[in-house]
Structure 1
Amino acid sequence: MPPPGRRFLGRLPLPEYRYLADALRAETLGGVLLLVAAVLALVWANTPLSHSYETVRDFHFGPGSLGLRLSVEHWAADGLLAVFFFVAGAELKRELVAGDLRDPKAALLPVVAAACGMIAPALVYTLVNTVGGGDLGGWAVPTATDIAFALAVLAVLGTALPSPLRAFLLTLAVVDDLFAILIIAVFFTSDLNFLALGGAVAGLVVFWVLLRHLRVRGWYVYVPLALVIWGLMYNSGVHATIAGVAMGLMLRCHREEGEEASPGERVEHLVRPFSAGLAVPLFALFSAGVAVGGDALADIFTRPETLGVVLGLVVGKAVGIFGGTWLTARFTRASLSDELAWSDLFAVSVLAGIGFTVSLLIGELAFTDDPRLTDEVKAAVLVGSLLAVLLAAVLLRLRNRVHVRLLAEEERDEDLDGVPDVYQQDDPAHHQRLADSYEKRAAEHRARAREREDPGAGDA
């Protein structure tokens, strides 16, 4: 009889459970701000005030002598998003040294799921545009997942989703970010300025030596150095956000003896609020402001480029992630946790079709020569993401009662020691604390019963 396969989407280790809870709180708030910024951009760009929106978005400033006189929109996309990708690099590094990606067997499933979740949308886009005679250059637009937006949706619609599914979505998005970074670096790099690129690489080496070997501390050292590296990377022809990723990957994210948190965890904790609360919402504010009138919405479903983006996000993402996960489980003899169903995983796969921040960025890079098509593709990203939200909402609601029960079991803390009971099932001290807690509550219940029978007994 063949040996049983391992299970996936089971209960998380306690450190991962706590890290996930902290990360979800930050990403969820950031997602809400992102949603508010996107709505504000759409309102601003589709009212009589649209002229002022364009004026602000296209206003140029910066040191022209350094090649950095950019528009507000450009500063948001190339400058502020570098902070977002710095956090993404730090998250990826942490997953590689302390998270699910540390174990090759455990990493296989989210890596394959993320890869399939990017290949399938690209194939859907390519097929639609090959048949319709559209521009194949936008194949990468529907490949990205916006984790902040997805978690914000979960905060509203999937409040009871068990932590293993949330962790799967978070890990999936981290790997997705890595693939998106590679796509930007390989396919959207213009003519290279090797002198500037060499300077950026030299700056990264200095960053590494100061951080990892000399262990210099102090933001006043690293922030100016990071700005120099970013400026050189921008002028090199490589997309400037790659500088943020590289610096994030250089952080030390493993804990040494006596450390409560690694330097990478501390830096990520400090930078994440700026990224989620300011950088990404400002990018959305100046990138999501596109005209979405009746004719524009109709064109989304008739023009092959925009239809390919919508179908890539809604159909390609769901089929790719779910199919990749199912096939990996099937051929590695892994099995789903007993408490969950494949329909739960399909709902999360549909939710991953929310491709906002990076999809908008790639849309700008893919169609730089056609501003009108760029705006139409951005509108398609918004429509595709909205359809993914609506479909995921329906699927999550179908299993909400089961999710509520699972989450209640996961978070139960009868002895009120701050550690969920499921992590202490084999701890004799935990069982003694439970017995003491039950006895205390029983005594209080008996005292209240006597008080009701004889109101004067308590005074006596």
Structure 2
Amino acid sequence: MIVALRSEISRFLRTETVGGALLLVAAAMALLWVNSPWGDAYFRLSDMRLALPAVHLDLSLAEWTKDGLLAIFFFVAGLELKRELVVGELADRKRAALPIIAALGGVVVPALIAWGIGRGIEGMDRGWAIPVATDIAFALAVLALTGSRIPTTARVFLLSLAVVDDLIAIVLIAVLFTTAVAFGWLVTAAACLAGWALAQRFRIGTPLVYVPLALTAWFALHEAGIHPTLAGVLCGLLTRVRPDPGEDTSPATRLEHLFQPVSAGVCVPLFALFASGVPLSTTVLGSLGTDRLALAIIIGLLVGKTLGIFGSGWLAVRFGLARRPDGLGLRDMFALSVLGAIGFTVSLLVAELALADDVAAAELAKAAVLMTSMTASLLGSALLLRRGRVHQARRDAHAAAGDEGRAAPGTEKGRAIELHTGR
């Protein structure tokens, strides 16, 4: 009975709309909580320390969700991306090039816009990096909730784009905000990742090898001064996706099946709960439309990300450098580019790091990120719903055209098809 219930809950959580709904509900709860009379309790909970004395690791609850639990989400994303690159939609080189080029455009254009608008403002020497990142979890959640009727290749494009985007953002964080990289720990992380790849190469299946390697790689990257969620992505990308003869499923498929419910039902909602707590005072809200720092972030994120992703992708296709996924039109790409303006996680992190010496500016920057991400979610949702109706109408027309050949003219069914197709 218990096993059956657990299996049913896991199946329920594998439904993307359920995971997306949980994430958005958790984000809304955090926003309401932190701006309520009980907001202090939210910050006390977020700042609660959870230490591991054995390894001298002391992080707050919010840091554990951001650096620890989110690594599991990135691991699942890495597994999905690896599968698409090897046996899926992105196995074609030109199709794989499209999200990579689009991600690069989605980093460069918003950075240039933010730097141009905010040039000379204190903190903008590094604050130009605030609007460069797309939040994978939130963007995919919105897509799952509102884009179910557009081609499935849309998710592959957005996932690939967001993973590359976040990898670039993690590198930027390491370059801009890491005063010194502990190369010894970096070598340790590299050795663990190499061990993971070798274990896959020699078909080792026991978790007694993989769990210590993954945990050590995560810890080593954290101690090296690099965002530790990178360990999740890299472990996913190093996992084998082709089953051997006699194997029912590949290791990547088994691991994705195991971790996806944990990621969708626990890791991502908890992360959203502790990442979305941004105070929105009247002073802060009133400054969003006038302050240059806020405008640099808002325009850089909403306009820069949309134009950067869509423009670079369109140019890549136009000049033959890349190919659009099957069934994905330019208008679909534009809707997905708007979702790329959902900054959130990494953007909030960069805002904290870039404006650490000015609490008021940091709060304003985080409010700008939050409001822009909400706007991008609503605009993207509206565009996706519209595109979904277009795709559904096409499918209905194709189905009717197929039935037309099997329906005798003059019959009731034949007349209905003629009326539907305009014939």
Please say if 1:406 is aligned against 2:413. no
Partner Cα distance (2:47, 2:323) in 1: 52
Aligned length: 398
Greater CA drift, 195-204 or 71-80: 195-204
Per the alignment, residue 29 of structure 2 pairs with 40
**Aligned with residue 178 of structure 1, among 158, 167, 173:** 167
5+ residue gaps, structure 1, are: 1-21, 415-420, 423-430, 446-460
Q: Counterpart of 2:350 in structure 1: which amino acid?
A: I
Tell me which structure has the larger Cα radius of gyration: 1
Checking the alignment, whether the CA contact within 8 Å between 1:185 and 1:242 is kept in structure 2 is: no
Please say if 1:373 is aligned against 2:361. yes
**Aligned with residue 287 of structure 1, among 265, 271, 275:** 275
- Post-superposition Cα deviations, 1:383-433, rounded to whole Å, max 9, x if no partner, equal 0111112323443455554222134468x6x9xxxxxx99xxxxxxxx9xx
**Aligned with residue 317 of structure 2, among 323, 329, 341:** 329
Per the alignment, residue 253 of structure 2 pairs with 265
Greater CA drift, 140-149 or 396-405: 396-405
Greater CA drift, 281-290 or 183-192: 183-192
Checking the alignment, whether the CA contact within 8 Å between 2:104 and 2:165 is kept in structure 1 is: yes
Per the alignment, residue 82 of structure 1 pairs with 71
Partner Cα distance (2:184, 2:325) in 1: 53
Identity of aligned residues (%): 47
Q: Counterpart of 1:299 in structure 2: which amino acid?
A: S
Cα offset for 1:251?
0.7
Partner Cα distance (1:313, 1:303) in 2: 15
5+ residue gaps, structure 2, are: 1-10, 414-423
- Post-superposition Cα deviations, 1:70-103, rounded to whole Å, max 9, x if no partner, equal 1112212221222222223323322332234332
TM-score (norm 2): 0.82
Cα offset for 1:26?
4.5
Per the alignment, residue 455 of structure 1 pairs with none
Q: State the superposition RMSD in angstroms.
A: 3.4
Alignment of 1:96-107 (within 5 A): 96-107=85-96
Cα offset for 1:285?
1.3
Please say if 1:146 is aligned against 2:135. yes
**Aligned with residue 114 of structure 1, among 103, 106, 129:** 103
Please say if 1:355 is aligned against 2:339. no
Per the alignment, residue 18 of structure 1 pairs with none
- Post-superposition Cα deviations, 1:294-349, rounded to whole Å, max 9, x if no partner, equal 21112233333332222122101111122112212222298879977533332222
**Aligned with residue 51 of structure 2, among 57, 62, 83:** 62
Checking the alignment, whether the CA contact within 8 Å between 2:130 and 2:351 is kept in structure 1 is: yes
Checking the alignment, whether the CA contact within 8 Å between 1:129 and 1:136 is kept in structure 2 is: no
Residues 399 and 247 (structure 1 numbering): CA distance in 2 closer, same or farther, change over 3 Å? closer
Partner Cα distance (1:385, 1:151) in 2: 13
Alignment of 1:424-443 (within 5 A): none
SS in 2 for 1:69: strand
Q: Counterpart of 2:283 in structure 1: which amino acid?
A: D
**Aligned with residue 285 of structure 2, among 297, 304, 308:** 297
Cα offset for 1:354?
1.6
SS in 2 for 1:75: helix
Partner Cα distance (2:270, 2:38) in 1: 18
Partner Cα distance (1:131, 1:41) in 2: 34
Residues 332 and 190 (structure 1 numbering): CA distance in 2 closer, same or farther, change over 3 Å? same
- Post-superposition Cα deviations, 1:136-156, rounded to whole Å, max 9, x if no partner, equal 312222222234323433344
SS in 1 for 2:204: coil
Per the alignment, residue 421 of structure 2 pairs with none
Per the alignment, residue 216 of structure 2 pairs with 228
Per the alignment, residue 3 of structure 2 pairs with none
Per the alignment, residue 388 of structure 1 pairs with 376
Partner Cα distance (2:84, 2:326) in 1: 25
- Post-superposition Cα deviations, 1:54-84, rounded to whole Å, max 9, x if no partner, equal 1111111212462311111221222122222
Per the alignment, residue 8 of structure 2 pairs with none
Q: Counterpart of 2:220 in structure 1: which amino acid?
A: L
Partner Cα distance (2:361, 2:15) in 1: 34
TM-score (norm 1): 0.76
Checking the alignment, whether the CA contact within 8 Å between 2:98 and 2:322 is kept in structure 1 is: no
Residues 32 and 252 (structure 1 numbering): CA distance in 2 closer, same or farther, change over 3 Å? same
